Structure 1
Amino acid sequence: MKKRFAIVIGLLIAGLISLRIYQKVTRRMGGTSARQGQGGAVAVIVQPVRQDTIRDVRVFTGTVFPKTQFLVAPKVAGRLEKLLANIGAEVRNGDLIASLDNQEYKQQVEQARAELDVAKANVNDSQSSLEIAARELERARELRKQQVASVAEMDRVEALYKAAQAKHEIALAQIKQQEAVLKATEIRLSYTQIRAAWENGNGPRLVGERFVDEGAMLPANEPIVSIIDIDTVIAAIFVIERDYPHIEVGQSAEITTDAFPLKTFAGKIVRKAPLLKEASRQARVEIEVANPERLLVPGMFVRAEVRFAARDNAIVVPASAVVRRNEQRGVFLADTTTMKARFVPVTLGIVNADRAEIVNPPLEGPVVTMGQHLLEDGSAIIIPPSEPGADRLASPKPAGDRREGGSQP
């Protein structure tokens, strides 16, 4: 008894499930029939084929960098006594940025000058000794001519003269040496005055960063501040392998940033990396952008629009009109006389987010832009009255006159 009851319950559940499935299928078929309209026709939206200018524009993202940037650092070690430039300060070529405690370097200069004075005194002394030796040599030669001085005496006097001459030459060389030492100490003293210096232009630049404070003990070459030039900036973007062949030095670019959403900055591609990074498969491209108002600052996120190609008087259709059928790209042309859709394979040119260029064949008439996924070549169509060509739509026939496909009521 229990087995029969379980079987009956199971059959009832199976029947209910089957009924539910049947109702869903019926509703779906009814919805499809409603979408297709009377006589199996598909309701579509069409738009006309136009002749217009179309551009292939790609948008890349990147970062702003200063055109030039360098670090100001002392060439000698010392305590930072004064720092005269702060972040954001405008500096010109040759401006004093900072100064180090120079007492030790002044003392070195004084010592070098004293040693130079000693060297000059040595020259005077050696000059006197050389003159005395020269007179002795001349006297010895006269005595030798008179056969009064011996050969040994003559050799001794000549040796003394040569020694005095060598000593004088050494003294002269020591003067040059001490002059060089003095010049070196003076140069080191001048290095305690730290200035901003650069080539290529004398326009003002800005202090970008400050790394130390007054009173800090600095080794040589320790950065104090960074100097940047942002009257012209570089927008660095990265392009993928597919776009790399289309990028050329000299191409124009339009730069936008979220900081100034209504403003566009004109730029030009000035450098293109000759390689792609293996890790990212991207190449660095640099765009030079004039920035006289200094609105763009290093570190900003920017978008760069680069025009790859442009075509005037091109045959243009909405990009949504292009479909694929049997591994072919094409569009459905709407014949408003027969109210049928004809699939036409096409060759595409420039394609952007909204529009597509038709290179071949020439197209005339409206193309289907919505509902084409339900169409096949020769499918009947219905164009809503608000769409182009709807005025040619014949009045719908009463139900039961003729149906192509669809479900019987």
Structure 2
Amino acid sequence: MGRKTILWLVAAMLVCTAMAVHILHSRRSLRTAIAETESRTPVQVVRPERRELTRAAEFVGAIEPWEKAALYAQATGYVERMYVDRGDRVAQGQVLAVLSVPEMEQELHQYRAAIDDAEARRQEAVAELRAAEADVERSQAELRSPQAAMERAGTEVEAARAAHRRTQAEVALSTKHSAQLEREYEAAQSVLAAAEAEYDEPAVQLAELEAGARAVDARIEAAEGEVNAAQAEVGRAKADLVLAETKHGRFAKLRAEEGITEMELDQAKSAFDEAKARGAKADAQVQIAQARLRAAKRDGEAAQAKATTAKARIKTAEKKRQAAQQQLAVAQARLESARAESRLPEVSAEMARLGIETARKSVEEAEAQTQAAGSRVKAVKARAQEPQARLRAAQARQRSAEAALAEMTARLGFAQIRAPFDGVVTERHADPGALIDAVSQARPLFTVMNVVRLRVFVEVPERDVPHVKVGNLASIAVKELAGQTWDATVARIAPALTPETRTMKIEINLDKTPELLPGMYAHVRLSLDTHYDALTIPAAALVMEKQTATAFVVRDGCAEKVELQIGIDDGQTVEVLAGLKSDEPVVVVGQALLKSGMPVEATPWQGSDKDVGS
């Protein structure tokens, strides 16, 4: 054999050995897997679900009619007629039966006769009272005449007094007015005297000024003469000065030529200086004369101004004097007129006083007549009291009889048994001819029910009371009507618990259906509390250990027990408040044989189509 052949044989042996080892290892692993599979516990699981969960409770209730009335007779008598029987429908106010009550009918006739008698007596009393009232009216009419006369006399007295007061006031006013006018007359006299004095003063002053003006005119004429004389002297002095100046110039020239002597020149110069002096003196005299003239003219102008002022004052004073004279004349005329008018109120006052006396006498006469008429009225009214008393007595008897009649009519009305509402007669316990004793009757004549709607009454235990509210949903079923339910809501709640049973009565209203009848027992499923988005598991998944709720979950192919805090439940599903994750599979079937850590074979719960994790 060659070397290569040996190598191939060795390689083939190694491959065969390896394959044999692999086959042995695979078989051992398979046996181990089969053993492990055979040791796992089969369970059914479901994942927790978030959903709306409503806690419901079931109760037994009674179906009652909407209204029910047991009709008893309120009057004792015989059943005369029966108009309805069991099962008949009736309307509100419909007569169901009539009782015959002969005694009450007889009493009714007696009360009517008593009313007729009382009415006759009342009419008789009314006639007597009307006659008495007519007498009273006549006496009062007689009284009104002197009363009117007394009122008129009183009015006349008041009018006379008012007139007297008015005339006295007029006298006082007239006296006061006359005194005022006298004062005005005296004031006008004083004003006139003052105006005359004011007129005399400027007149005297004007005369003095006119005399002074004449003296000033004389001074002005003298000053003008002095001015003229001084001006003439100035002219002469100027002429002499010109002559002397000419002569002095000529002599000076001649002296220069030695045509004259020095003495002659000095004489010419002295004549020239003398002429200059005379000219200056003449100018001074002219100025003095002009000054005197101006002063005289100023004095004349001042005197003229004073004279003008004095004339204006005289004119003003003259106007005042004329006005004062007119005012005095008017005041004198008003004073004389007031003195004449003041005598009229005095005469009117005296006449008013006489009118007061006359009116007082009329009042006294009218008062006497009024007292007499008043006495007659009192006597007639006293006589009218008797028919009034008889009328009141007759009216009282009539009211008493009418009240008795009304009472008897009402009692007789009780002989008719009427339906209190629309409904159906469910019971009838009497026949025509039967005697009905209103006091000792044991059963009602009829029982009437209104079944248009129904009421279901339920007693709720104390533990569920906090969760019951008006509007809670309810599902109603009747055992004898299997497969049928009726949905409704809580309509009313009693606000207290019954002490004996510690329950609270609630009412659920239903529309009437042919199947439901009053008196049936109803099974009521009442929705008490709703949690939204609650984490829920089937109630079958719970394992109760005393008061602790637990469940098994599948983690890594093994069962693990977890303690749960549960909330509400609806009988099939329970709310988990704590202890469970929302994605952990929960064992629903097979948990009775489980312990924590046991391997499990998880399959979906048959009651759920949820996917199961392992």
TM, length-normalised to structure 1: 0.71
Following superposition, the deviation at residue 264 of structure 1 comes to 1.5
> What pairs up with 1:91-106 in 2 under 5 angstroms?
91-106=90-105
Per the alignment, residue 261 of structure 2 pairs with none
Matched positions, count:
343
Q: 1:110 to 1:317 in 2, by over 3 A?
A: same
Is 1:346 aligned to 2:345, yes or no? no
Deviates more, 1:61-70 or 1:351-360: 351-360
8 Å contact 1:231–1:294 — kept in the other structure? Answer: no
8 Å contact 1:84–1:97 — kept in the other structure? Answer: yes
Following superposition, the deviation at residue 213 of structure 1 comes to 2.5
> What pairs up with 1:137-148 in 2 under 5 angstroms?
none
Letter in 2 for 1:371: G
Aligned to 1:243, the other structure's residue is in SS state: helix
Within the candidate set 487, 495, 502, 1:281 is matched to 502
Following superposition, the deviation at residue 220 of structure 1 comes to 3.0
Distance (Å, rounded) in 1 between the aligned partners of 2:450 and 2:604? 62
Within the candidate set 370, 377, 381, 2:589 is matched to 370
Distance (Å, rounded) in 2 between the aligned partners of 1:138 and 1:245? 81
Letter in 1 for 2:591: Q
8 Å contact 2:455–2:510 — kept in the other structure? Answer: yes
Q: 1:389 to 1:287 in 2, by over 3 A?
A: closer
Aligned to 2:463, the other structure's residue is in SS state: coil
Letter in 1 for 2:519: G
Within the candidate set 209, 218, 233, 2:436 is matched to 218
Per the alignment, residue 266 of structure 1 pairs with 487
Distance (Å, rounded) in 1 between the aligned partners of 2:86 and 2:413? 25
Following superposition, the deviation at residue 215 of structure 1 comes to 1.9
Is 1:78 aligned to 2:77, yes or no? yes
Per the alignment, residue 296 of structure 1 pairs with 516
Sequence identity percentage: 26
Distance (Å, rounded) in 1 between the aligned partners of 2:477 and 2:414? 43
Following superposition, the deviation at residue 286 of structure 1 comes to 1.9
Following superposition, the deviation at residue 314 of structure 1 comes to 4.0
Distance (Å, rounded) in 1 between the aligned partners of 2:41 and 2:431? 76
Distance (Å, rounded) in 1 between the aligned partners of 2:43 and 2:96? 70
Following superposition, the deviation at residue 380 of structure 1 comes to 1.8
Per the alignment, residue 317 of structure 1 pairs with 537
Superimposed CA distance per residue, residues 9-34 of structure 1 (whole angstroms, 9 cap, x where no aligned partner): xxxxxxxxxxxxxxxxxxxxxxxxxx
Distance (Å, rounded) in 1 between the aligned partners of 2:610 and 2:133? 123
Following superposition, the deviation at residue 67 of structure 1 comes to 2.2
Distance (Å, rounded) in 2 between the aligned partners of 1:252 and 1:96? 41
Per the alignment, residue 170 of structure 1 pairs with 393
Distance (Å, rounded) in 2 between the aligned partners of 1:38 and 1:63? 60
8 Å contact 1:253–1:268 — kept in the other structure? Answer: yes
Distance (Å, rounded) in 2 between the aligned partners of 1:118 and 1:284? 60
Following superposition, the deviation at residue 248 of structure 1 comes to 1.2
Distance (Å, rounded) in 1 between the aligned partners of 2:428 and 2:520? 20
Aligned to 2:483, the other structure's residue is in SS state: strand
Q: 1:372 to 1:159 in 2, by over 3 A?
A: same
8 Å contact 1:42–1:375 — kept in the other structure? Answer: no
8 Å contact 1:316–1:358 — kept in the other structure? Answer: yes
Superimposed CA distance per residue, residues 66-89 of structure 1 (whole angstroms, 9 cap, x where no aligned partner): 222122223322111112222222
Per the alignment, residue 240 of structure 1 pairs with 461
Distance (Å, rounded) in 1 between the aligned partners of 2:604 and 2:484? 42
Following superposition, the deviation at residue 381 of structure 1 comes to 2.1
Is 1:331 aligned to 2:551, yes or no? yes
Aligned CA RMSD, in angstroms, stands at: 3.9
Per the alignment, residue 30 of structure 1 pairs with none
Deviates more, 1:319-328 or 1:280-289: 319-328
> What pairs up with 1:3-82 in 2 under 5 angstroms?
41=39, 43-51=41-49, 52-82=51-81
Per the alignment, residue 116 of structure 2 pairs with 117
8 Å contact 2:48–2:584 — kept in the other structure? Answer: no
Q: 1:188 to 1:327 in 2, by over 3 A?
A: closer
Q: 1:327 to 1:167 in 2, by over 3 A?
A: closer
Per the alignment, residue 418 of structure 2 pairs with 195
Is 1:355 aligned to 2:573, yes or no? yes
Distance (Å, rounded) in 1 between the aligned partners of 2:79 and 2:610? 83
> What pairs up with 1:377-388 in 2 under 5 angstroms?
377-383=596-602
**5+ residue gaps in structure 1?**
1-36, 147-153, 199-203, 394-409
**5+ residue gaps in structure 2?**
1-34, 143-367, 370-376
Following superposition, the deviation at residue 225 of structure 1 comes to 1.0
8 Å contact 2:552–2:587 — kept in the other structure? Answer: yes
Distance (Å, rounded) in 1 between the aligned partners of 2:59 and 2:429? 34
Following superposition, the deviation at residue 90 of structure 1 comes to 1.0
Q: 1:127 to 1:275 in 2, by over 3 A?
A: closer
Which is helix-richer, 1 or 2?
2
Per the alignment, residue 397 of structure 1 pairs with none
Distance (Å, rounded) in 2 between the aligned partners of 1:283 and 1:386? 41
Q: 1:250 to 1:140 in 2, by over 3 A?
A: closer
Distance (Å, rounded) in 2 between the aligned partners of 1:156 and 1:313? 101
Q: 1:169 to 1:314 in 2, by over 3 A?
A: closer
Q: 1:155 to 1:260 in 2, by over 3 A?
A: same
Q: 1:42 to 1:61 in 2, by over 3 A?
A: farther
Deviates more, 1:109-118 or 1:85-94: 109-118
Letter in 2 for 1:124: Q
8 Å contact 1:81–1:99 — kept in the other structure? Answer: yes
Following superposition, the deviation at residue 99 of structure 1 comes to 0.4
Letter in 1 for 2:577: V
Superimposed CA distance per residue, residues 183-241 of structure 1 (whole angstroms, 9 cap, x where no aligned partner): 3333333332221124xxxxx31122223232222233753112212222221112222
Following superposition, the deviation at residue 134 of structure 1 comes to 6.8
Q: 1:311 to 1:386 in 2, by over 3 A?
A: closer
Distance (Å, rounded) in 2 between the aligned partners of 1:392 and 1:185? 90
Deviates more, 1:349-358 or 1:252-261: 349-358
8 Å contact 1:347–1:358 — kept in the other structure? Answer: yes
8 Å contact 1:82–1:100 — kept in the other structure? Answer: yes
TM, length-normalised to structure 2: 0.49
8 Å contact 1:47–1:368 — kept in the other structure? Answer: yes
Q: 1:191 to 1:44 in 2, by over 3 A?
A: same
8 Å contact 1:62–1:236 — kept in the other structure? Answer: yes
Q: Which structure ranks higher in relative contact order (CA pairs < 8 Å, sequence separation ≥ 6)?
A: 2
Larger Rg over CA atoms: 2
Distance (Å, rounded) in 2 between the aligned partners of 1:100 and 1:296? 35
Following superposition, the deviation at residue 324 of structure 1 comes to 4.4
Distance (Å, rounded) in 1 between the aligned partners of 2:482 and 2:542? 33
Q: 1:162 to 1:311 in 2, by over 3 A?
A: closer
Distance (Å, rounded) in 1 between the aligned partners of 2:604 and 2:490? 50
Letter in 1 for 2:462: E
Deviates more, 1:231-240 or 1:166-175: 166-175
8 Å contact 2:46–2:604 — kept in the other structure? Answer: no
